[in-house]
């Protein structure tokens, strides 16, 4: 967590409430949780007042943080029911986290689904949460300037603000921002769930809340938020096209004047090989080659692979899904495991059939590949520290954090040139290498054999120590923390407030 407070007296503090379904360390399934648990600290360090509100899932009690009840209770309507909830709080340095407690909805094994099946009442769970956010503002006596919501789960909040609350003096002047972390997850439910929202049927039309006959939380957010952002400049462009727009490209294009693309950062106090408690040997840019050699040996031992300093060790960490291109890797792996002199380490969970393919590779070629079907932060750190190459052949990638984590640990990314991957990885062509800009390898098509050729290019470069060292140095010395992006969020908030309030804030 970013803990140092930078005092900037000249700043006019913006009050910001993040409403999200995830935030580390309390609840996360991926990048959304990482961002909502780290960006608030970066904004607070710039002198702003930032609070975060998420559901009180079962897991929040195991995050190692003190959580206390605020003694604040509320009741909201969810369809024909009235449902009660209460507010909890956890303070961490300069950011306060609030939790909406409603055990029937949130005290469950997982956040959204079990055994690959979404909870049948997900619509109801997040209608309740979104209404709870609006009530929390009143109860907490914290009226934000900016209500910053994230992804479909909080997509109704901007609609409630505009339709039901904006006439109240307390809420008037609050600007809403929706950040899209992944357009593929839209929160679509059958049309009768419109009744759960409590909003008038007149909003269920193709310009507002309806998407091909269904209720869409994300579209609702896109339509009603004052400002929209996504997590890289390239993805902000891509989602306005049919190829990446998932049917929402039209509505996004219609709002392009208020659509921002701001690159995610990583929390460099968590992702720092110099202080990382999980890795075999700590290192920095000066000691990276010795440090990584020790970490590589330790990783090979931990994963049961032969200890071979000479073989390139290729890694993948992430959701084992079509989006992340794990199927492309599975298509080329039989060739790689049979013919190429490289080792593989895979960590992830996801699609059951794909997981099974990877397990079978590990059973058949135990000398070449180790697979862990798990979600394990410490192991993710050890893999980034020990591997030589990190593969991320995503079909679409809003930003991608894992490639930035890899760079931070001196591991060379091989990525598909799309979305945030295109914004962060510069291919090792000779002119880029000579200019000190190259930090990885990229390819453009969805053809697995183009991935394979790019991996071969990476492995050939691995065998040219001078060039390889230069690539590692380029990557490890780049700054992918929030330092660059946090000020851009503030600019976006200020622009939002100027439009909403018609002032020169």
- With CA atoms as reference, report the closest residue to 235 among 391, 402, 421: 421
Determine which residue in the list 2, 26, 34, 54 makes contact with ligand ADP, applying CB under 6 A.
Answer: 34
Please state the closest distance from residue 501 (CB atom) to ligand ADP, in A.
33
Residue 380 engages ligand ADP in binding (rule: CB under 6 A): yes
Backbone angles phi, psi at 331, to 5 degrees: -70, -35
Number of residues that bind ligand ADP (CB under 6 A): 19
Residue count of the chain? 505
Instruction: State which of positions 323-362 bind ligand ADP (CB under 6 A).
Output: 347-349
CB atoms within 10 A of CB 159: 22
Site string for ligand ADP, 281-320 (x = CB under 6 A): ------------------------------------xxx-
Label residue 365 exposed, middle or buried (CB < 10 Å: 0-12, 13-18, 19+): middle
CA dist 30 and 24 (Å) reads 9
Cβ closest to ligand ADP, residue 406 vs residue 497: 406
Tell me if 375 contacts ligand ADP by CB under 6 A.
yes
Q: What are phi and psi of 390, to 5 degrees?
A: -120, 125
Shortest distance, CB of residue 493 to ligand ADP, whole angstroms?
23
Please select the residue that binds ligand ADP; options are 14, 16, 21, 31, rule is CB under 6 A. Answer: 31
Which parts of 398-427 interact with ligand ADP (CB under 6 A)? 399-402, 405
Between CA 395 and CA 401, with CA 396 as vertex, the angle to 5 degrees is 115
CB 396 within 8 A of CB 419: yes
Nearer to ligand ADP, 177 or 379 (CB): 379
- Which residues are paired to 50 by β-bridges? 16, 95
Contact letters (x/-) for ligand ADP, 132-171, by CB under 6 A?
----------------------------------------
- State yes or no: residue 172 binds ligand ADP (CB under 6 A): no
Which member of 1, 13, 15, 30 binds ligand ADP (CB under 6 A)?
A: 30
Tokens coding 37:
């648990």
Count how many Cα atoms sit within 13 Å of the Cα of residue 106 in the half-sphere of its side chain. 24
Q: What is the C-alpha to C-alpha distance for residues 323 and 347, in angstroms, rounded to an integer?
A: 16
Query: Which residue in the block uniquely carries the two structure tokens 């490890």?
Result: 476
Nearest CA to 259 out of 178, 359, 174 is that of: 178
- To ligand ADP, the closest distance from the beta carbon of 275 in angstroms equals 17
214 vs 323 by CB, closer to ligand ADP: 323
Q: Is 272 in the site for ligand ADP (CB under 6 A)?
A: no
- Give the interface with ligand ADP as residue ranges (CB under 6 A): 30-31, 34, 182, 317-319, 347-349, 375-377, 380, 399-402, 405
């Amino acid at each position: 967590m970013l803990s140092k407070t930078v005092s900037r007296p000249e700043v006019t503090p913006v009050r910001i409430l993040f409403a999200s379904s995830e935030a580390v360390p309390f609840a996360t399934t991926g990048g959304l949780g990482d961002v909502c648990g780290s960006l608030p600290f970066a904004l607070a360090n710039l002198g702003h007042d930032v609070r975060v509100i998420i559901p009180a899932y079962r897991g929040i009690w195991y995050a190692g943080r003190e959580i206390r009840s605020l003694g604040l209770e509320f009741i909201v309507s969810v369809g024909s029911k009235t449902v009660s909830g209460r507010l909890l709080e956890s303070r961490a340095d300069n950011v306060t986290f609030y939790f909406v407690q409603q055990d029937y909805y949130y005290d469950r094994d997982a956040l959204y689904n079990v055994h690959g099946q979404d909870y049948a009442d997900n619509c109801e769970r997040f209608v309740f949460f979104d209404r709870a956010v609006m009530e929390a503002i009143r109860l907490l006596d914290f009226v934000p300037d900016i209500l910053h919501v994230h992804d479909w789960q909080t997509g109704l909040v901007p609609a409630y603000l505009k339709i039901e609350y904006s006439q109240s003096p307390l809420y008037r002047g609050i600007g809403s921002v929706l950040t899209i972390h992944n357009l593929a997850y839209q929160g679509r439910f059958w049309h009768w769930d419109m009744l759960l929202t409590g909003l008038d049927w007149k909003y269920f039309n193709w310009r507002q809340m309806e998407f091909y006959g269904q209720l869409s939380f994300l579209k609702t957010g896109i339509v009603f938020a004052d400002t929209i952002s996504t997590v890289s400049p390239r993805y902000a462009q891509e989602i306005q096209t049919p190829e990446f727009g998932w049917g929402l490209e039209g509505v996004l294009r219609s709002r392009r004047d208020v659509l921002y693309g701001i690159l995610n950062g990583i929390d460099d106090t968590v992702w720092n090989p110099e202080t990382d408690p999980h890795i075999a040997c700590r290192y920095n840019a000066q000691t990276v080659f010795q440090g990584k050699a020790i970490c590589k040996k330790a990783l090979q031992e931990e994963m049961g692979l032969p200890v071979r300093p000479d073989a390139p060790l290729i890694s993948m960490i992430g959701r084992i899904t079509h989006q992340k291109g794990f199927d492309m890797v599975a298509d080329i792996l039989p060739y790689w495991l049979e013919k190429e002199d490289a080792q593989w380490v895979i960590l992830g969970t996801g699609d059951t059939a794909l997981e099974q393919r990877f397990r079978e590779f590990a059973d058949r070629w135990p000398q070449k590949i180790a697979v862990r079907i798990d979600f394990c932060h410490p192991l993710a750190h050890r893999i980034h520290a020990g591997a030589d190459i990190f593969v991320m052949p995503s079909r679409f990638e809003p930003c991608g954090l894992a490639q930035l984590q890899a760079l931070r640990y001196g591991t060379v990314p091989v990525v598909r040139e799309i979305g945030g991957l295109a914004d962060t990885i510069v291919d090792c062509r000779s002119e880029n290498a000579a200019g000190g800009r190259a930090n990885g390898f990229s390819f453009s098509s969805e053809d697995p054999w183009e991935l394979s050729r790019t991996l071969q290019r990476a492995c050939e470069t691995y065998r040219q120590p001078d060039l390889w060292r230069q690539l590692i140095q380029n990557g490890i010395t780049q700054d992918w923390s929030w330092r660059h992006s946090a000020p851009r969020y503030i600019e976006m908030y200020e622009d939002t407030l100027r439009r909403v309030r018609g002032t020169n804030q």
